[in-house]
Protein backbone atom coordinates (compact mmCIF):
# COMPACT_ATOMS: atom_id res chain seq x y z
CA UNK A 1 0.00 0.00 0.00
CA UNK A 2 1.30 3.49 -0.83
CA UNK A 3 1.57 6.19 1.83
CA UNK A 4 -1.19 8.15 0.11
CA UNK A 5 -3.43 5.05 0.27
CA UNK A 6 -2.94 5.03 4.04
CA UNK A 7 -3.77 8.72 4.13
CA UNK A 8 -7.03 8.09 2.26
CA UNK A 9 -7.93 5.28 4.68
CA UNK A 10 -7.23 7.51 7.70
CA UNK A 11 -9.51 10.19 6.21
CA UNK A 12 -12.25 7.58 5.66
CA UNK A 13 -11.91 6.44 9.27
CA UNK A 14 -12.21 10.01 10.51
CA UNK A 15 -15.30 10.52 8.37
CA UNK A 16 -16.93 7.37 9.76
CA UNK A 17 -15.92 8.22 13.34
CA UNK A 18 -17.18 11.80 13.07
CA UNK A 19 -20.67 10.49 12.35
CA UNK A 20 -20.68 8.76 15.75
CA UNK A 21 -20.16 12.01 17.70
CA UNK A 22 -23.25 13.42 19.41
CA UNK A 23 -24.22 16.95 18.38
CA UNK A 24 -26.00 17.27 21.73
CA UNK A 25 -22.72 16.53 23.55
CA UNK A 26 -20.86 19.18 21.57
CA UNK A 27 -23.62 21.74 22.15
CA UNK A 28 -23.30 21.06 25.88
CA UNK A 29 -19.56 21.69 25.62
CA UNK A 30 -20.10 25.00 23.80
CA UNK A 31 -22.74 26.11 26.32
CA UNK A 32 -20.45 25.22 29.21
CA UNK A 33 -17.59 27.22 27.71
CA UNK A 34 -19.89 30.22 27.17
CA UNK A 35 -21.01 30.17 30.80
CA UNK A 36 -17.57 29.62 32.39
CA UNK A 37 -15.50 32.39 33.93
CA UNK A 38 -12.27 30.61 32.93
CA UNK A 39 -11.62 27.42 30.97
CA UNK A 40 -8.76 25.12 31.93
CA UNK A 41 -7.77 22.09 29.88
CA UNK A 42 -5.83 18.96 30.74
CA UNK A 43 -4.64 15.91 28.87
CA UNK A 44 -1.63 13.61 28.78
CA UNK A 45 0.60 12.70 25.85
CA UNK A 46 -0.80 13.31 22.38
CA UNK A 47 -4.26 14.02 23.78
CA UNK A 48 -2.66 16.77 25.84
CA UNK A 49 -1.25 18.35 22.69
CA UNK A 50 -4.75 18.46 21.20
CA UNK A 51 -6.05 20.21 24.33
CA UNK A 52 -3.20 22.73 24.20
CA UNK A 53 -4.22 23.55 20.61
CA UNK A 54 -7.79 24.02 21.81
CA UNK A 55 -6.69 26.36 24.63
CA UNK A 56 -4.75 28.45 22.13
CA UNK A 57 -7.78 28.82 19.85
CA UNK A 58 -9.98 29.73 22.82
CA UNK A 59 -7.45 32.43 23.74
CA UNK A 60 -7.62 33.72 20.15
CA UNK A 61 -11.37 34.13 20.67
CA UNK A 62 -10.91 36.10 23.88
CA UNK A 63 -11.77 33.26 26.26
CA UNK A 64 -9.75 33.21 29.48
CA UNK A 65 -8.20 29.77 28.78
CA UNK A 66 -5.28 27.91 30.38
CA UNK A 67 -3.44 24.60 30.20
CA UNK A 68 -3.18 22.78 33.55
CA UNK A 69 0.45 22.38 34.58
CA UNK A 70 1.86 25.39 32.75
CA UNK A 71 3.61 28.02 34.86
CA UNK A 72 1.21 30.79 33.79
CA UNK A 73 -1.99 28.82 34.50
CA UNK A 74 -4.52 30.62 36.69
CA UNK A 75 -6.13 29.03 39.73
CA UNK A 76 -9.32 27.00 39.32
CA UNK A 77 -12.48 28.39 40.95
CA UNK A 78 -16.16 27.47 41.31
CA UNK A 79 -17.20 29.46 38.22
CA UNK A 80 -14.64 27.72 36.03
CA UNK A 81 -14.72 24.80 33.61
CA UNK A 82 -12.13 22.05 33.35
CA UNK A 83 -12.06 20.12 30.07
CA UNK A 84 -10.12 16.85 30.15
CA UNK A 85 -9.21 14.86 27.05
CA UNK A 86 -8.38 11.23 27.74
CA UNK A 87 -8.91 8.12 25.64
CA UNK A 88 -8.96 5.66 28.53
CA UNK A 89 -10.27 7.93 31.27
CA UNK A 90 -7.89 6.12 33.64
CA UNK A 91 -4.72 8.25 33.53
CA UNK A 92 -3.75 8.71 37.19
CA UNK A 93 -2.66 12.32 36.91
CA UNK A 94 -5.89 13.30 35.15
CA UNK A 95 -7.95 11.50 37.80
CA UNK A 96 -6.22 13.59 40.49
CA UNK A 97 -6.85 16.80 38.55
CA UNK A 98 -10.54 15.94 38.10
CA UNK A 99 -10.90 15.10 41.80
CA UNK A 100 -9.31 18.41 42.80
CA UNK A 101 -11.54 20.41 40.41
CA UNK A 102 -14.64 18.67 41.78
CA UNK A 103 -13.56 19.39 45.37
CA UNK A 104 -13.28 23.09 44.47
CA UNK A 105 -16.78 23.01 42.99
CA UNK A 106 -16.07 23.85 39.36
CA UNK A 107 -17.53 22.03 36.38
CA UNK A 108 -15.66 19.16 34.72
CA UNK A 109 -16.27 17.86 31.19
CA UNK A 110 -14.33 14.91 29.80
CA UNK A 111 -13.90 13.96 26.15
CA UNK A 112 -13.15 10.24 26.12
CA UNK A 113 -13.67 6.84 24.58
CA UNK A 114 -15.07 5.63 27.91
CA UNK A 115 -17.66 7.84 29.65
CA UNK A 116 -17.98 5.11 32.30
CA UNK A 117 -14.27 5.40 33.23
CA UNK A 118 -12.95 6.87 36.48
CA UNK A 119 -12.58 10.37 34.97
CA UNK A 120 -15.93 9.95 33.22
CA UNK A 121 -17.62 9.19 36.53
CA UNK A 122 -16.00 12.22 38.16
CA UNK A 123 -17.06 14.54 35.34
CA UNK A 124 -20.28 16.52 35.24
CA UNK A 125 -20.58 15.64 31.58
CA UNK A 126 -18.83 13.26 29.17
CA UNK A 127 -18.45 13.59 25.42
CA UNK A 128 -17.93 10.14 23.88
CA UNK A 129 -15.62 9.66 20.91
CA UNK A 130 -14.84 6.38 19.17
CA UNK A 131 -11.38 4.92 19.63
CA UNK A 132 -9.25 1.95 18.75
CA UNK A 133 -10.68 -1.58 18.86
CA UNK A 134 -8.24 -2.45 21.66
CA UNK A 135 -9.62 0.41 23.75
CA UNK A 136 -13.20 -0.02 22.64
CA UNK A 137 -13.86 -3.74 22.43
CA UNK A 138 -17.61 -3.31 22.71
CA UNK A 139 -17.62 -1.44 19.40
CA UNK A 140 -17.50 -2.80 15.89
CA UNK A 141 -15.68 0.35 14.77
CA UNK A 142 -12.28 -0.60 13.43
CA UNK A 143 -9.15 1.36 12.61
CA UNK A 144 -5.87 0.60 10.87
CA UNK A 145 -4.14 3.25 12.95
CA UNK A 146 -1.87 2.48 15.88
CA UNK A 147 -2.76 2.94 19.51
CA UNK A 148 -4.86 6.05 20.19
CA UNK A 149 -4.25 7.86 16.91
CA UNK A 150 -7.88 7.81 15.78
CA UNK A 151 -9.07 9.22 19.13
CA UNK A 152 -6.39 11.91 19.17
CA UNK A 153 -7.06 13.04 15.60
CA UNK A 154 -10.81 13.07 16.15
CA UNK A 155 -10.31 14.95 19.43
CA UNK A 156 -8.52 17.76 17.58
CA UNK A 157 -11.17 17.91 14.86
CA UNK A 158 -14.05 17.83 17.34
CA UNK A 159 -12.50 20.64 19.39
CA UNK A 160 -11.89 22.68 16.21
CA UNK A 161 -15.58 22.17 15.38
CA UNK A 162 -16.47 23.50 18.83
CA UNK A 163 -14.35 26.56 18.02
CA UNK A 164 -16.31 27.07 14.79
CA UNK A 165 -19.62 26.85 16.67
CA UNK A 166 -18.36 29.32 19.26
CA UNK A 167 -17.26 31.67 16.46
CA UNK A 168 -20.75 31.44 14.96
CA UNK A 169 -22.44 32.22 18.28
CA UNK A 170 -20.13 35.16 19.00
CA UNK A 171 -19.99 36.53 15.43
CA UNK A 172 -16.22 36.05 15.20
CA UNK A 173 -14.11 35.38 12.12
CA UNK A 174 -10.45 34.56 11.52
CA UNK A 175 -9.59 38.21 10.91
CA UNK A 176 -10.96 39.19 14.31
CA UNK A 177 -9.13 36.32 15.97
CA UNK A 178 -5.78 37.32 14.45
CA UNK A 179 -5.94 40.36 16.74
CA UNK A 180 -5.18 37.97 19.63
CA UNK A 181 -2.48 36.01 17.76
CA UNK A 182 1.06 36.11 19.13
CA UNK A 183 3.00 39.01 17.62
CA UNK A 184 6.45 38.60 19.20
CA UNK A 185 7.43 35.77 16.88
Instruction: Supply the CATH number for residue 87's domain.
Output: 3.40.50.10490
Q: Is residue 121 part of a domain?
A: yes
For the stretch 1-52, pLDDT in tens is 889 988 999 899 999 999 999 999 999 999 999 999 999 999 999 999 999 9
Q: Is residue 185 part of a domain?
A: no
Residue 176: per-residue pLDDT: 76
Rounded CA separation 59/40 (Å): 11
For the stretch 79-126, pLDDT in tens is 999 999 999 999 999 999 999 999 999 999 999 999 999 999 999 999
Q: Which of 9, 79, 90, 152 is catalytic?
A: 152
- pTM attached to this predicted model: 0.91
The whole domain housing 73 covers 3-172
Q: Is residue 112 part of a domain?
A: yes
Q: Is residue 181 part of a domain?
A: no
Q: Is residue 183 part of a domain?
A: no
Torsion of CA 133, 139, 144, 145, to 10 degrees: -60
Q: Is residue 177 part of a domain?
A: no
Rounded CA separation 42/111 (Å): 11
Task: Read off the pLDDT band of 58 (50, 70, 90).
Answer: very high
Domain count, the chain: 1
Q: Is residue 80 part of a domain?
A: yes
Q: How many residues does the chain have?
A: 185
Q: Are 143 and 9 in contact (CB under 8 A)?
A: no
SS (H, E, C) the chain: CCHHHHHHHHHHHHHHHHCCCCHHHHHHHHHHHHHCCCEEEEECHHHHHHHHHHHHHHHHCCCCEEECCCCCCCCCCCCCEEEEEECCCCCHHHHHHHHHHHHHCCEEEEEECCCCCHHHHHCCEEEECCCCCCCCCCCCCCCCCCCCHHHHHHHHHHHHHHHHHHHHHHCCCHHHHHCCCCCCC
Measure Cα distances from 153 to 87, 92, 108, 138 in Å: 11, 22, 22, 21
Task: Read off the pLDDT band of 183 (50, 70, 90).
Answer: low
Q: Is residue 180 part of a domain?
A: no
Is 79 an active-site residue? no
Amino acid sequence: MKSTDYLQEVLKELDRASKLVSDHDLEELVTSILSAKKVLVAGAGRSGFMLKSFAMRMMHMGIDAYVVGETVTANFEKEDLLIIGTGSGETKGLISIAEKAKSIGGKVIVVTIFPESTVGNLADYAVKLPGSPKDNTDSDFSTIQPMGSLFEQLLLLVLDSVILKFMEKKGLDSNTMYGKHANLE
